[in-house]
Amino acid sequence: MTLLSFDDRDGFIWFNGKMVAWRDAKVHVLTHGLHYGSCVFEGVRVYNGKIFKLREHTERLINSGKLLGFDLPYSLEQLETATKETIAKQNIVNGYIRPVAWRGSEMMAVSAQRNKIHVAIASWEWPSYFSKEARERGLRLQMSKWARPAPNTIPTASKAAGLYMICTLSKHAAENEGFDDALMLDYRGFLAEATGANLFLIMDGKIHTPTPDCFLDGITRRTVMDLARARGIEVIERHIKPEELKNVQEVFLTGTAAEVTPIGQIGEQKFTVGSITKQLMVDYSLCVLQ
């Protein structure tokens, strides 16, 4: 299968305030963001031509930059307008938006006090993250050997590029052994999240989800917690040990890309795609269209 590489497509990318032809939206090899991980990004979805939770994603992008010690050179309103312009220019009806901000090239060492902050916003048509077949049977997750790091080792509340190094390692290891994704514990050994989505467990009709004190408190996570509560389902945030999985009836993941995705297996343990998961999949699919 030949891949349609992301650097070789038609269209336009918003790049530092201008619409640039897709293939010309380039950075130099000597870029601080590339060498030292000073880069933050977002993943946003477009449903039926409307951007879902644009305000929340834009605020998080700005905040992720602050957590890495830099201010984006555009206001919240400017970034929202730029995002809307990008999907209009690209004619995106159902798709994905990738805003990204990074330190440039003025200084190429650990210190980067004078580096310009660059911002780009790309978007493309993109209907689903996991395959329909995987979503129907429930994903198979492998336990990762990597742990989500402690909040005093890296800015864990940011959506920063460097935090994804262990996600790619975990996901590759899982895929190489026939799994769909990996589940990570945190630095204390509690259940944390998958490589790009938050974790929910159903035990005796109640939803339990790990406290996001060292990983991303997902926008989808918060939306789904509200949807569950609106249905009268109790949602409990707490530290959850992996041994507790034996008391779990249903498992699902949430994320901008993953939406609500059922889990059919974690390691050796199997789960069925149950009624609460199915209900929240429907509720979320309606919520994104509002």
For ligand PMP, give the closer residue by CB, 197 or 287: 197
Phi, psi (5° rounding) for residue 172?
-60, -45
- The rounded distance, in Å, linking the Cα atoms of 229 and 207 is 10
Residue least distant from ligand PMP (Cβ)? 218
Identify whether 246 is a catalytic site residue.
Answer: no
Residue 19 C-beta: closest distance to ligand PMP, Å: 25
- When the beta carbons of 105 and 148 are compared against ligand PMP, the nearer one is 148
Report the half-sphere exposure of 79 (CA within 13 A, side-chain side): 27
| Residue 209 beta carbon to ligand PMP: minimum distance, rounded to whole angstroms | 12
Q: Report the alpha-carbon distance of residue 218 to residue 198 in Å, rounded.
A: 7
How far is it, in rounded angstroms, from Cα 96 to Cα 102?
20
CB of 64 to ligand PMP, least distance (A): 11
CA 254 to chain centre: 9
Indicate the residue among 33 and 255 with the shorter CB distance to ligand PMP: 255
Q: Which is nearer to ligand PMP, 56 or 244 (CB)?
A: 56
Question: How near is the Cβ of 217 to ligand PMP at its closest, in Å?
Answer: 8
Name the minimum Å distance from CB 92 to ligand PMP: 18
* CB nearer to ligand PMP: pick between 86 and 198: 198
Yes or no: say if 205 and 276 are a contact pair by the CB < 8 Å rule.
yes
- 120 versus 194: smaller Cβ distance to ligand PMP: 194
User: What is the binding site for ligand PMP (CB under 6 A)?
Assistant: 43, 193, 196-198, 215-216, 218-221, 254-256
Q: Shortest distance, CB of residue 179 to ligand PMP, whole angstroms?
A: 17
Q: Which one from 159, 206, 241, 246 is the annotated catalytic residue? A: 159
- Catalytic residue annotation: 159
